[in-house]
Amino acid sequence: MKVRSADTRVAGFAFVVPGRLDQFTGGYLFDRRVVDGARARGRCVHVIELPGTFPDTDDIARAAASDALARLPDAHVVVIDGLALPAFAHCLAAHAHRLRLTGLVHHPLALETGLSAEASQRVALLEARLWRLLRGVLCPSAHTARAVAAAGIETARIVIAPPGVDRPAADPGTLQTVSDDHAASDHHAAPDDRAVPHDHAAPKDRPATRPPTGAHGNHPHAVPSPVRLLTIATVTPRKGHRLLVEALAPLEDLDWRLDCIGSLTRDPQTTASVRAAIDAHRLGARITLCGELPTQAVTAALRDADVFVLPSFHEGYGMVFAEALAHGLPIVATTAGAIPDTVPGDTGLLVPPGDVRALSEALRRVVEDTALRTRLAAAARRAGRRLPDWPAAVDRWLAGLDVLAGLDGLAGEDANVGADGRVGPDGLAGPDGHARADGRVRPDAGAA
């Protein structure tokens, strides 16, 4: 594997996304922040929005993908969002040596909830084949990087570049203000697993014990308010909304309310299932499916919530958990995917994915025990202050792209992969791989 120059800086690149870039999901938020941040730093970014359906692509998507690559000049640097990669299954090989292709893999599509074992294996083989036609892969977490490496990608071709957070502008724990990247751009709220608002208010201090006047009121005769639970995620099987309803049903003796922010239209069948569960348990007065909300409303929800809960079956990073930490929210979640890496143990209660009883018990604890909520909230605020802001995250992402675009050859040409597809000893085989300080992966060092 050869590098063109240690000082190579990508002056401009094409960024390929599935559909419109301004969609209300966290993956698109990550993409937008990278695009806006790169442009703010003087780099030319050409966004290519592919029509059609994804990730189960149709003829429209595949034709658009082929046309997009054919129109680019030789040696052009191209970043393809992992959700769009399946559209290139028939044409990527033809351009792999002509263009400098990299991928931004938020999480492996083969790990999407609801796929049969056969379908998951088929998607995994497709992704592995496509990844090997790239110069390298950008990943948001060490967990996702390990999954990519296990598919046969040499570790020197993987860069870990986590997303950033918008720190609350008046956070008393920092002097951080709204980032220059944000001030120079016009973003949309993105209520999904990595979705956040931008014009944040400071996280409120969570009281050591819940006062009889309610969380915000000081009047001695104010009516006690319920514990406010918040979920931000598009309603899809992977996010676990139905499981959350089932876990809350036994807590009828406690005073709580749940607001679910996120699209109700991307997966109508799952939304209908969640609504049916709410009706079956007569929780309509307690659980509100808010749909997608504007930035200010999402900001207010994060500010006013007492607990953030999202029982995902998999996360490639979990941007929304980072945003909850930045707002000082205790977290109830699962141990799935990269969540334990994103959510420190002292900031929340993590349970096995799919375990409705464990989730219900964790929710009971956090709703009943105000002292526990206070301890978790204090730890969440500390953890949130340690997270990278968006300017730092974009800098790291661009530095990673510079490295990968400077590599000669393809990932599949130097990976130590046997005929059975298993990664050899030079690959990152299993949970011992970590990121170096520069974001590159190596199997023998601690995480950056």
Q: Which CATH superfamily is domain 12-164+391-442 in?
A: Glycogen Phosphorylase B; (3.40.50.2000)
Q: Tell me, which fold does domain 189-387 have in CATH?
A: Rossmann fold (3.40.50)
Proportion of the chain above pLDDT 90, given as a percent: 73
Residue 162 to residue 149: CA distance in whole angstroms? 17
Higher-confidence residue: 52 or 112? 52
- pLDDT category at 220 given cuts 50, 70, 90 is very low
Q: What pLDDT, on the 0 to 100 scale, is given for residue 8?
A: 79
Cβ pair 162, 141 in contact under 8 A: yes
Tell me whether the CATH fold assigned to 12-164+391-442 matches the one assigned to 189-387.
Answer: yes
Among 10-19, 111-120, 313-322, which stretch is predicted with the lowest mean pLDDT? 111-120
Q: Is the pLDDT of residue 6 over 70?
A: no
Tokens of 362: 């964790």
Nearest to 9, CA basis, from 35, 43, 40, 33 = 43
Q: What pLDDT, on the 0 to 100 scale, is given for residue 173?
A: 41
Question: How high does pLDDT run on average in the chain?
Answer: 84
pLDDT digits (tens, 9 = 90+) for 154-182: 999 999 999 999 887 654 343 333 333 43
List the domain boundaries for the chain: 12-164+391-442, 189-387
pLDDT digits (tens, 9 = 90+) for 388-435: 999 999 999 999 999 999 999 999 885 443 333 333 333 332 223 333
Q: What pLDDT, on the 0 to 100 scale, is given for residue 137?
A: 98
For residues 283-299, give the mean pLDDT.
93
Q: Is the pLDDT of residue 25 over 90?
A: no
- pLDDT category at 236 given cuts 50, 70, 90 is very high
Cβ pair 264, 296 in contact under 8 A: no
Could you tell me the CA-to-CA distances from 297 to 17, 129, 151, 165, 226 in Å, in that order?
Answer: 27, 42, 41, 18, 19
Q: What is the DSSP string of 197-238?
A: -SSPPPPPPPPSS--TT-SS---TTPPPPPEEEEEES-SSGG
pLDDT digits (tens, 9 = 90+) for 51-88: 999 999 999 999 999 999 999 999 999 999 999 999 99
Q: Is the pLDDT of residue 107 over 80?
A: yes
Tokens of 428: 């990152």
Residue 99 to residue 190: CA distance in whole angstroms? 31
Tokens of 286: 């307690």
Residue 153 to residue 145: CA distance in whole angstroms? 9
Q: Is the pLDDT of residue 205 over 70?
A: no
